[in-house]
Structure 1
């Protein structure tokens, strides 16, 4: 929890309480439904919560922004982002029902009112959102192919609508098809912990007004 306060010192009392509640909630649910490696649960705040919040370092979502989290698993990155941006709406999508169950229970326990859920695949989702977010759920090529249709055309944020995903390792080949428009952020520029030395965020604007990436 200290890692969150270190990098986000202006959280409200309610936001701080909600972040503080995450450990016990995930520790409990993880014994029933494994959504986080049991060896990694002690690193929840660093490896999962703070990692998710890297997106908040890239873009401060404006009030009313809509976001869909593709392959949310147990609720990352959406639940930390939903706590941080209570005036935005988040749709947590996953094809695995038991993972959605964990995310639903955590959201309910936190009394978060800005999250909805979709037990489905992104290729079947018809609605549009300002941003697609994802945390290493699939390759960038697949994410672009399957979710570009879900990006709305109306703009309201400092960055144009598009895809923001969190990944690690060598991304050269993965971003090559989009090299002229993609932005890659080193998370070590935001967070000093060693864990983030190879972690990156990818932002890809999607312009559906012209029907092409």
Structure 2
């Protein structure tokens, strides 16, 4: 079995373990993204992980593990008449933004990062795969003007910093989704008045023996 076939097999096994049904074209896009990440990483240092199999396990599967809860949240907000528009803050090389854009083509995914080379890479990914629903913004998050239904982050900042930086960008009825390791009790206790954690969702990543969770937040009834 070639290295490419081995990666494809590992991806398929991971999707099955997650109960995630992806089209063959989507699986190819994920593998093409992985290949681009490996290629650009040699020059742009997008991730400290170098081995493609480890990239798949630590990055792709980690992000694929949140696709089902993400999709449920989008479906709920579509039912409420909200636009399927998402912001990935501190997106780096596009994790989880690129993965979400591949798995959820009905969602407009906007990635923002202050590092130009990282957003140049995401632009290249959008052009090559191609992903018409993936958008890259080289900017500080404070400079953005639009509003988003869901605002997501992966290893970006503390929960308090995350919501304070993006608070003006959250559309009415929207929510924040923070990808974390173990449940961040200290960060949750330090949230500003007007923000509530309405759900903490354990996440299991295939092949990874480490705690993961999603922290869901929203403005509470007192307002922000």
Residue in structure 2 matched with residue 173 of structure 1 by the alignment: 186
Shift of 1:211: 4.1
Residue 197 of structure 2 contacts residue 215 of structure 2 at CA under 8 Å; is this kept in 1? Answer: no
Unaligned 5+ segments in structure 2 are: 1-10
CA distance in 2, matches of 1:38, 1:102: 16
Say which SS state the counterpart of residue 43 (structure 2) adopts: coil
Q: Tell me the number of residue pairs that the alignment of Structure 1 and Structure 2 aligns.
A: 202
Residue 188 of structure 2 contacts residue 197 of structure 2 at CA under 8 Å; is this kept in 1? Answer: no
CA RMSD of aligned residues (A): 2.2
Unaligned 5+ segments in structure 1 are: 156-160
Change in CA separation of 1:69 and 1:2 when aligned onto 2, cut-off 3 Å = same
Shift of 1:41: 4.2
Residue in structure 2 matched with residue 13 of structure 1 by the alignment: 24
- Dislocated runs of 4+, deviation >2 Å: 2-5, 7-10, 38-42, 61-64, 177-182, 191-195
| Cα shift readout 1:12-48 (whole Å, capped 9, x = no counterpart) | 2221221222221111111111111144543122211
Matching of residues 59-70 of structure 1 within 5 Å: 59-60=70-71, 61-62=74-75, 64-70=83-89
Residues 1:206 and 2:219 are matched in the alignment: yes
TM-score, normalised by the number of residues in structure 1: 0.85
TM-score, normalised by the number of residues in structure 2: 0.81
Residue 69 of structure 1 contacts residue 77 of structure 1 at CA under 8 Å; is this kept in 2? Answer: yes
- If each structure's strand is expressed as a fraction of its own residues, which one has the higher value? 2
Residue in structure 2 matched with residue 94 of structure 1 by the alignment: 113
Change in CA separation of 1:13 and 1:194 when aligned onto 2, cut-off 3 Å = closer
Pick which of 169-178 and 89-98 moved more.
169-178
CA distance in 2, matches of 1:89, 1:151: 15
Residue in structure 1 matched with residue 208 of structure 2 by the alignment: 194
Residue in structure 2 matched with residue 115 of structure 1 by the alignment: 134
Structure 2 residue corresponding to 1:2, chosen from 6, 12, 20:
12
